[in-house]
Amino acid sequence: MLVDLPVRDLMNTPVRTVTAETAIVDAAARLRYEGIGSLVVQSDGESVGIITESDIVAVTAAEGDTRALTVGDVMSTALVTIGPDATVEEAVERLRTHGIKKLPVVEDGTLLGIVTTTDISNYLPHMEHPQPTTETQSQRSRFERPDTSYERDDWEFESYGVADGIDVGDHVRFSKTIDQADVEAFAEASGDTNSLHLDEEFAAGTRFGRRIVHGTLVSGLISAALARLPGLTIYLSQEVSYRGPVDIGERVTAHCEVVERITDDRFRLTTAVDDAEGNSVVEGVAVVISDPIPDSG
């Protein structure tokens, strides 16, 4: 399971560099043959600019003898960087604020790596997906689901929608405590016997400093929440981003909201799990089919 990663854990190394005196055609050849999207421009060991594929395309489309140009004629000198200990969220904000896609990682003037929007989208797949609506619970009726096989006294759920199927705006939450027995049962059932979840002494030496719940077990509560929406909900896909750890014995809450009707029976939902303090530990997007409940008669 991931925490809010520092940029150093996500950045690409080594960084390809170039000098301002390099011919544009040579820089273009490097971008092509090395399969990279940018070159950081350095002078006397200091990062002074960056040249990207987009810059090369713009030069190619310009009139005149562009072959005589150097990197220094084209590069962006307003170089935006970030430190290696900054969080991924801070990197996202910097990329968005400056409208850029490449972010060199620099510490004490030394170029350590580079992080891109592609790197971050792999870590945060929820970034480009719809956000939940602002519709309040009072605008929909509470649905008491009649057909789960069983419920337990320490489980809680609220489902808002209509009894004959789901629609945009329907939402549900499901809460339970994930205890030691749950973790051990999941390890046995899944085969994930990582000592991080089962061995106190081993876990004490990790970045978490203690045992934590399996990330997949935490995200499994999303499925529990979906099972309590109106109709019979069938997964087609689920994207998740793990944002923080969950302690064994902690009560967590999954919540889902229908944000888009894709076809008559297919829907997109935002999905999340919060820890006991209300912090998001899992975020993502699901696509489901909603079938009618089979007639038991």
Based on the fold, state whether residues 160 and 279 are members of the same structural domain. yes
128 occurs within a structural domain: no
Q: What pLDDT, on the 0 to 100 scale, is given for residue 67?
A: 73
pLDDT greater at residue 93 or residue 295? 93
**Quick check: 128 pLDDT over 90?**
no
Based on the fold, state whether residues 249 and 193 are members of the same structural domain. yes
Q: Which residues contact 268 (CB under 8 A, 6 or more apart)?
A: 129, 130, 258, 259, 260, 262, 285, 286, 287
132 occurs within a structural domain: no
Domain boundary, last residue among 101, 123, 145: 123
* DSSP annotation string for the chain: ---S-BGGGT-BSSPPEE-TTSBHHHHHHHHHHTT-SEEEEEETTEEEEEEEHHHHHHHHHSSS-GGG-BHHHH-B-S---B-TTSBHHHHHHHHHHHT-SEEEEEETTEEEEEEEHHHHHHH-GGGGSPPPP---GGGS-B------S---TT-EEEEESBTTB--TT-EEEEEEEE-HHHHHHHHHHH----HHHH-HHHHHTSSSSS-B--HHHHHHHHHHHHTTSSSEEEEEEEEEEE-S--BTTEEEEEEEEEEEE-SSSEEEEEEEEE-TTS-EEEEEEEEEEEEPPP---
Based on the fold, state whether residues 198 and 80 are members of the same structural domain. no
297 occurs within a structural domain: no
129 occurs within a structural domain: no
Based on the fold, state whether residues 260 and 165 are members of the same structural domain. yes
pLDDT, tens digit, 9 for 90 and up, residues 210-253: 999 999 999 999 999 998 888 888 998 898 888 889 999 999 99
Based on the fold, state whether residues 178 and 217 are members of the same structural domain. yes
**Quick check: 121 pLDDT over 90?**
no
Query: What's 243's domain CATH number?
Result: 3.10.129.10
Domain boundary, last residue among 123, 153, 182: 123
Query: What's 38's domain CATH number?
Result: 3.10.580.10
| Percentage above 70 pLDDT, the chain | 87
Based on the fold, state whether residues 65 and 206 are members of the same structural domain. no
Based on the fold, state whether residues 163 and 87 are members of the same structural domain. no
Average pLDDT, the chain: 85
Based on the fold, state whether residues 147 and 232 are members of the same structural domain. yes
Based on the fold, state whether residues 61 and 197 are members of the same structural domain. no
Domain boundary, last residue among 69, 98, 123: 123
Based on the fold, state whether residues 91 and 162 are members of the same structural domain. no
Q: What pLDDT, on the 0 to 100 scale, is given for residue 3?
A: 47
Based on the fold, state whether residues 195 and 115 are members of the same structural domain. no
Q: Which domain holds residue 205?
A: 137-291
Q: Which residues contact 243 (CB under 8 A, 6 or more apart)?
A: 2, 3, 4, 279, 280, 281, 282, 283
pLDDT greater at residue 187 or residue 142? 187
Q: What pLDDT, on the 0 to 100 scale, is given for residue 294?
A: 77
Global pTM? 0.58
156 occurs within a structural domain: yes
How many other CB atoms are found less than 10 A from the CB of residue 219? 22
Based on the fold, state whether residues 107 and 148 are members of the same structural domain. no
**Quick check: 42 pLDDT over 90?**
yes
- pLDDT bin (cut points 50, 70, 90) of residue 64 is low
Q: What pLDDT, on the 0 to 100 scale, is given for residue 103?
A: 93
| Percentage above 90 pLDDT, the chain | 46
Q: Please give the tally of structural domains in the chain.
A: 2
131 occurs within a structural domain: no
